[in-house]
Amino acid sequence: MRRIIRRQLSSQVLGILLCLVGFAILLVVFWKAWSGVSASSNVLSSLWSYILTEQVDLASTVTLKLSYLSIMGAIFLFLGIVVIAFSRQVFYLSGGSVLLTCPYCKNQWKTSRAKAWAECPHCRQFIQPDVAKKKI
Per-residue pLDDT of 93-112, as tens digits, reads 666 778 888 888 888 888 77
The contacts of residue 132 (CB under 8 Å, 6+ apart) are 99, 100, 101, 108
Q: What is the largest CA-CA distance in the chain?
A: 88
Instruction: Report whether 70 contacts 47 (CB < 8 A).
Output: no
Question: Whose CA is closest to 66, among 26, 37, 35, 38?
Answer: 26
Of 2, 11, 1, the C-alpha closest to 88 is 11
- Residue 105: phi and psi, rounded to 5, are -95, -5
The answer, as to whether pTM is greater than 0.85, is: no
What's the pLDDT tens digit per position in 31-64?
A: 888 887 877 788 888 888 888 888 888 777 888 8
